[in-house]
Structure 1
Amino acid sequence: MRTIVVTGGTHGIGQGLVEHYRARGDRVIAIGSTAVPGDDTIRADLTEAETVRGLAGALPERIDALVMSAFRYSPVRAETAAGLEYTFALYVLSRFLLVEALLPALERAPSPVILSLCGSGAGRPPRWDDLQSRRGRFRALDTTLRGAYANDLLGTAFPIEHPSARTRYVLYNPTMVDTGLSRAFDGPTKVLVDVASRLFATPVPRALPPIVRLIDAPPDAPVTAFRAGRPTRVARGADDPASALRLTAALRALAP
């Protein structure tokens, strides 16, 4: 029996993975912002750095797989209690801090893997002088795409900062999956997004098998990227070590 930790484990793909592995008999700990029944469910606000770091003490000493799927599309700019832009705090900073906090537990497992559900292979480079999207008009899609690029940079940085780690880092872009995105909208936009999801998005159960295969049999390379089950490359320029380390240094400065 393996121990698997899933952030965003109460909705969408994360919830699907939780249900799959629990049915298989593994111990699965779901971390989410909403409370759901289950002894192995932790309600936590992952936009708060101290909360993320504190999870290490609440989780088992050995973790076989860490799946990071927590994400919430925010149409308008919002800030966390610490004054950080919400999408950046949840989609980028929390993933970096979570890996740093849980890496010792992962390294105790025989074949550990981190799987980051993100928009790998797409995205736009960070605005280094405006990581919190404070300048100009806030554009939710642009902020999300910059978060996707930042996650590719985190994958690039991982083996540089942890050269002796046995843990494998997998960046996975599931493409369009029906995960309830319409909940983020109101009125006509909500209806349009809901219809588009039903027509064009992959249902969660169909999106799971290639993800499960990567969790069950991690690739040999320290870092790999996949798009809907097929190998892909990170976004152009996101394989640059200097940019990757610049990002991790900025994240450490934001949450010292």
Structure 2
Amino acid sequence: MRTIVITGGTDGMGAALARHFLRAGDRIVVIGRSRAKFDALLATVTSDDRSAAARAEFLAADLSLVADSRRVVEHLQAKHAWIDALVLAASFIRQHRHITAEGREASWVLFFVSKYLFVTGLAAPLCAAERPVIVNTAVPGTRADAIDFDDLEMSEGFTFARSNAQQRRANELLGILAVTDNPDLAYVTWGPTRLVRSSFAGEVGKSMKIAAAVLGTLLGQRPDVAVRPIIGIVDAPTPGRAAYRGSKELALTVGDHDDEDAARLATAVEDQLR
């Protein structure tokens, strides 16, 4: 029986993946903010398969908080000897810079620092799996120079576009760190081919919420359709780094100093976390 960990697994694509893998007979750990959403998700599966409840675990966490990410990672380290798949799908969109109760920039922590903690903290149980895979829903394909190493939390000049580009590039570099430590690991940065219908969680303007709702209804994919390529990747992982939009493999972004940038990023984040 595989063990599959899904962050952001109570809504949208994360929930669709949780439902699929529970129905497939896997053990699922869902990390999210809403126990009620998890219970509703589980009810849709247990109505057909009562054994699913024994194979599902919910961990409540706000992954924009470093303390919550660390607590969850420590729990997973203690409870699971191996983890076959880690799907990093937590999302909460903010158009503006937001400082958490910990004094950190929320989007940077949610979309990169929490992922760094999961990937590095769960290296041992991933190494113990027969065919380990990480699917990181950080849409691939941004500039190689998108990271401001001197101001990772963008205390100056924050824009949504800059923040998004930096997070995406940082998650590509995270893959270099992950596969260097575990050459048997598959590390995939992935994004959907088009808009996915979801609740669009976040603090955004009214116009963006309306546009997302209208376009999602008219043009968006259902989450269960959008995640089919992720299911294929988890079921048949190929060791090494890769990038996909939907089921189409993309060329990896290559910079002049990728290995050095990955090491520099790791050092900078560890310094932030001290």
TM-score by length of 1: 0.90
Q: Which amino acid aligns with 1:40?
A: E
Tell me, in whole angstroms, the C-alpha distance in 2 between the residues paired with 1:25 and 1:209.
17
The aligned residue for residue 154 of structure 2 is 133
1:157 has 2:158 as partner = no
- How far, CA to CA, are the matches of 1:84 and 1:57 in structure 2? 21
Q: Are the aligned partners of 1:156 and 1:238 in contact in 2 as well (CA < 8 Å)?
A: no
Equivalent pair of 1:184/1:190 in contact (CA under 8 Å)? no
Q: Please tell me whether the aligned partners of residues 107 and 165 of structure 1 are also in contact (alpha carbons under 8 angstroms).
A: no
1:102 aligned to 107, 115, 122, which one? 122
| Alpha-carbon spacing, 1:133–1:102, altered in 2? closer, same or farther (3 Å) | same
Letter in 2 for 1:254: Q
- 1:195–1:182 CA distance, 2 compared to 1 (3 A): farther
- Of 190, 200, 213, which residue of structure 2 is paired with 1:194? 213
Question: Pairwise CA RMSD of aligned residues?
Answer: 2.0
Counterpart residue number, 2:46: none
Report the count of equivalent residues.
252
CA gap of 1:183–1:101, structure 2 versus 1, over 3 A, is closer
1:23-102 superposed matches below 5 A: 23-35=23-35, 36-37=38-39, 40-59=57-76, 60-102=80-122
* Alpha-carbon distance, 1:233 to partner: 2.1
68-77 vs 174-183, greater mean Cα deviation: 174-183
For residues 80 and 193 of structure 1, the distance between their equivalents in structure 2, rounded to whole angstroms, comes to 26
CA-CA distance at 1:227 after TM superposition: 1.5
Q: Give the alignment of 1:161-180 within 5 angstroms.
A: 162=181, 164-175=182-193, 176-180=195-199
| Alpha-carbon separation, structure 1, partners of 2:177 and 2:74 | 25
Distance 1:238 1:21 in 2: 39
TM-superposition CA deviations, 1:115-147 (whole Å, max 9, x none): 1111111356112222112113x3223311221
In 2, the alpha carbon distance for the partners of 1:238 and 1:211 equals 30
* Preserved contact between residue 28 and residue 57 of structure 2 (Cα < 8 Å): yes
Contact residue 238 and residue 244 of structure 1 kept, 8 A: no
Tell me, in whole angstroms, the C-alpha distance in 1 between the residues paired with 2:212 and 2:256: 30
Give how far 1:201 is off. Answer: 2.6
Q: Which runs of 5+ in 2 are unaligned?
A: 43-55
The residue type equivalent to 2:14 in the other structure is G
Q: 1:25 to 1:86 in 2, by over 3 A?
A: same
Percent identity for Structure 1 against Structure 2: 31
Equivalent residue for 1:9?
Answer: 9
Counterpart contact for 2:94–2:202, Cα < 8 Å: no
Q: Deviations over 1:63-112 (max 9, x none)?
A: 11111111211122111222211110000111011111111111111111
Query: Is residue 236 of structure 2 the alignment partner of residue 214 of structure 1?
Result: no
Deviations 1:200-255 (A, max 9, x none): 332212112111010011013x2111111111123352871111211111111111
CA distance in 2, matches of 1:186, 1:225: 30
Q: Structure 1's 247 and 125: CA in aligned 2 closer, same or farther, altered over 3 A?
A: same
Moved more, 13-22 or 172-181: 172-181
Distance in structure 2 (CA, Å) of the matches to 1:43 and 1:11: 13
For 1:183 and 1:29, the matched residues in 2 are separated by 23
Output the amino acid matched with 1:19: R
Work out the CA distance in 2 between the residues paired with 1:234 and 1:89.
24
Amino acid at match of 1:53: R
Q: TM-score, normalized by length of structure 2?
A: 0.84
Give, in whole Å, the separation in 2 of the partners of 1:63 and 1:182: 28
